[in-house]
Structure 1
């Protein structure tokens, strides 16, 4: 194995002793020093330290819930019941289902029904050294009235943050699908895709933004030229931009960056267009206010990320991204199959992991070189977390650097969250909240899209089980 110049210098003081060993008697020969063990960046071995702030009862309940959610048939049955109109339209059955959901998956993955309850959950996390991302659990809006009501909900969430411990809230978040009608996002996305095919197309409503589609981006959603937006649609689009701008202003006043969630590919171009348009207005500081989201399971995610960051640097703005693997695998694959086209998602989980790590490495390198990029690595994958942390340390990025953060969903990958926190990195838990009925789509998505994760990833369960056994031994034997 080659020895670096620095290592050679460190050997010079030992050289006389080393040379004398060749003429010494056998008993005088000095044995080689044992190699020093390298401490892992993310240490999950000490469960006592890892779960020091977790009550035994809560730890045991979480372990039991995680085991239950790892049983595929049970999860499938639960999803079928929650999707059954016959069950959910019967008042008595619906009440029973809601009670069961509230006591299990809701308690595991959600922070509470109202802002006060969610705030208390966030305070408990803060005491453990973790930050929180408050997410008011709203889904797709169908009309302008719903969009306005949803915006008010997002605004109220931002408004509660000054009453919480300083720096305990890392981000606000918004779903563009909650403040813009879905049908309009589909129309705008169609026109942006058609413009990609025909660059000479004039879109009079298009605001200054950054490129949202790469040459490798799938365009199969738009097989023919879509009609232009009507005057009413253009008016509604302006209102949607105004809603996002109003929320950005509120976040700016609260000094709270805003994460914009990603959605399915049929509407993502419009979401990116609105996100980047807001970034041009609000990201004129070294640290971005508006963050977009990149889903690494999409084949075009890396080129879209790279071109957006390059474009942002050319126009002199900062740009932040939350990097995730993706949450609509079933929907995307099903739609592509129905149209007889290739899926936009990578063909294997290994390729998705590789793409995630490549995107993370790209963002970290841009942070190091003084570029405008900032990153939130939202991952439940231990290896990706280790790789990003190791790369950051290799590049000399300080653990307190505001341009680098990690995040995991509440109720998932707690071992990774606590391990990263103990290593000194900034870590947040994503805290959805709202009435059970309101966050039901989120819970269904967690159950469906994370079925594989919950059934195959045993790391958290193993860590919890190990710590509970340790506590039991201490309680019984006193050691």
Structure 2
């Protein structure tokens, strides 16, 4: 279905042209025309540096070497004047307000991001006892939770803002890796126990699976048979004598106080499901409490939360936390939309399946699935790790496979909106789908222009208005401004990630941005060309003004004003 002129004219800020036409215009300089000349030259230099693949590849080692030689001051000075200035809003939340207000004036909202994340450093952990590691990370997580609280408070000063959260900064990365291993092992065992391969287990198979858990008895006074009977009855919601993975994972869950103890066990080596010690379970509960407090604050201040995706060896735990938060905070319709969004890296081979599975879980448990789809940001490190450990590469085989996965994710979410709209029509209700009636909300976070154009075209065909809030878009600060400003001009829900933090904390983020730009040279080439066209246009205009001012003025002839005389 073609977008009608009436549809286009209802878009606030629309210029009269179609958003798709403007996005396809590769000479559209809307994203650069309001920048200062100094900012344009900075962007040109940073993008040029991103084209030097060897420099980008060596950047992590060069920075580590500088830290070892105590030469961080000059290195950080260079980074601060280049990549940090291009891709970050400042070192504190308040530093970002100027950037956020400037974006707001262009119709672009912000996702304020305290860019602190933690990865596993085995050498750093080797000389510490488990109790010392827990104490250190709990103290750090409490401190970061307070900083994120400040981030939420700052973001709330501008309407429709998000705050981004990295779960690795909210707990011990060692704990998150262990939790992920346990969750993945349970899901693997479920598939093994499912003898018919139909995605469901019988009561007998359910019993077998529970017995594989580290501590199958919830209470010492209860028999195992009683425990399993209660759990199966709860999980078998449709009472057909079968339980699928979604209902099993919702019932036998680390997120529930009633079943958390099932996963407690000292033995991990050779166990079918790795156990978590009592202290691990307590730390996981602390993580949930920290996140719930931030959600309570966000709900009170009308600031939505974006749970970022991270490395695959943490992701199962991160998803588990995100599902818990969505179930508790996305269960009621909100005017601004669901409170908590989870992120799906569609370059992972299992991403589409997890998205579909999480939708089923949301439907059964009565909450809105709010999903941000990205291609992914850890390809280099993920592939290196898989190769070093002899693991299967978790990343899609080739860029085209990633595009296919991403498009399939967008199509899946839009299909669920379409089905709900048809249901409203059949039920003789208002046929207009809204944030109060949609089972899903889609966040298309992409620097790929084709993906953005394709989504806009699908929205028009489905008659989803740009202002509905059902489909929103996002790009990172310092990247793909042509897309962001064009969408903002046409009234679409568009967001920019505005990262901030002490420079030594945001180095991993900056390295990923350099790697991302280096791997997508086509997009960088377009950005550089637009920057060059704008600089050249300004130079020509300035030169013409200078030439005009240099031309000597011609005296105006004196015309007699008195009575005419006859010669």
TM-score by length of 2: 0.71
- Return the offset for 1:77: 4.4
Q: Which moved more, 1:250-259 or 1:75-84?
A: 75-84
- Do residues 346 (structure 1) and 346 (structure 2) align? no
Aligned pairs for 1:256-271 (under 5 A) are 256-271=303-318
Indicate yes or no: 2:139 matched with 1:145: yes
Q: Which residue number corresponds to residue 281 of structure 1?
A: 328
> Structure 1 residues 363 and 95 mapped into 2: Cα distance closer, same or farther (>3 Å)?
same
Pair 1:389-2:456 in alignment: yes
- Asked if the contact 2:115–2:506 (Cα under 8 Å) also holds between the matched residues in 1, the reply is yes
From 503, 507, 524, give the equivalent of 1:440.
507
**SS of structure 1 residue aligned to 2:520:** helix
- 2:533 corresponds in structure 1 to 466
Question: How far apart in 1 are the matches of 2:351 and 2:20?
Answer: 34
The answer for the alignment partner of 2:561 in structure 1 is none
User: Partner of 2:108 in structure 1?
Assistant: 130
**Residue deviations 1:225-249, cap 9 Å, x none?**
3442111111111111101111111
Higher mean C-alpha deviation, range 71-80 or range 290-299: 71-80
Q: SS at the partner of 1:266?
A: helix
Q: Which residue of 1 aligns with 2:163?
A: 172
Q: Take 2:18 and 2:499, find their aligned partners in 1: how far apart are those partners?
A: 41
Give the Å deviation of 1:49.
4.1
**Which residue does 1:154 correspond to in 2?**
148
Question: Match for residue 426 of structure 2?
Answer: none
CA distance in 1, matches of 2:280, 2:149: 24
Displacement after TM superposition at 1:43 (Å): 4.7
Is 1:96 the counterpart of 2:74? The answer is yes
* 1:133 alignment partner, SS class: strand
How much has 1:355 moved relative to structure 2?
Answer: 0.9
1:70 is aligned to 51
2:255 corresponds to which of 204, 207, 229: 207
**Distance (Å, rounded) in 1 between the aligned partners of 2:59 and 2:398:** 28
Alpha-carbon distance in structure 1 between the residues aligned to 2:38 and 2:390: 51
Shifted more, 409-418 versus 54-63: the winner is 54-63
Q: Distance between the aligned counterparts of 2:20 and 2:454, measured in 1?
A: 15
Of residues 427, 447, 457, the one that matches 1:380 is 447
Kept in 1, the 8 Å contact 2:373–2:444? The answer is: yes
Instruction: Indicate if the aligned counterparts of 1:357 and 1:384 stay in contact, CA closer than 8 A.
Output: yes
- 1:447-479 C-alpha deviation (Å, 9 max, x unpaired): 234421257631111122222222223333369
> Quick check: 1:279–1:319 contact (8 Å CA) kept in 2?
yes
- In 2, Cα distance between equivalents of 1:227 and 1:97: 43
Cα deviation for residue 178 of structure 1 reads 0.8
Q: 2 CA distance for matches of 1:174 and 1:237?
A: 16
Is the CA contact 2:181–2:274 (under 8 Å) kept in the aligned structure 1? Answer: no
**Mapped contact 1:329–1:449 kept (Cα < 8 A):** no
1:123: Cα distance to partner? 1.3
User: Structure 1 268/155 Cα, relative in aligned 2: closer, same or farther at 3 Å?
Assistant: same
Cα distance in 1 for residues equivalent to 2:386 and 2:59 = 27
Is the counterpart of residue 106 in structure 1 residue 100 in structure 2? no
* Pair 1:229-2:276 in alignment: yes
Look up the SS of the partner of 2:289 in the other structure. Answer: helix
Query: 2: CA distance between counterparts of 1:456 and 1:128?
Result: 22
Paired residues for 1:13-24 under 5 Å: none
Q: Contact conserved, 1:407 with 1:428, CA < 8 A, in 2? A: yes
Per-residue CA deviation, residues 43-77 of structure 1 (Å, 9 max, x unaligned), is 53563544343223322321222122222233344
Larger mean CA deviation between 197-206 and 119-128 belongs to 197-206
Change (3 A) 1:185 1:471: same
C-alpha distance after superposition, 1:260-287 (max 9, x if no partner): 0111111111111111011111111233
- Aligned residue among 481, 493, 499 for 1:414: 481
**Residue among 115, 124, 127 paired with 2:93:** 115
**2:42 alignment partner in structure 1:** 61
2:113–2:163 CA contact under 8 A, matched in 1 = yes
- Show CA shifts across 1:314-335 (max 9, x none): 2221110111011111222223
Task: Mark the runs of 5 or more structure 1 residues left unpaired by the alignment.
Answer: 7-35, 210-221
CA deviations over 1:410-454 (Å, ceiling 9, x no partner): 111112212222333121110110111121121222223442125
Contact 1:325 1:379 in 2 (8 A): yes
Structure 1: distance between partners of 2:383 and 2:33: 42
Matches within 5 A, 1:182-201: 182-199=173-190, 200-201=209-210
Contact 2:443 2:472 in 1 (8 A): yes
Q: In the TM superposition, what is the alpha-carbon distance from 1:100 to its structure 2 partner?
A: 0.5
Bigger Rg, which one:
2
Query: Partner residue of 1:83?
Result: 64
Listed as ranges, the gaps of 5+ residues in structure 2 are 5-16, 120-132, 191-208, 219-252, 258-268, 421-437, 549-567
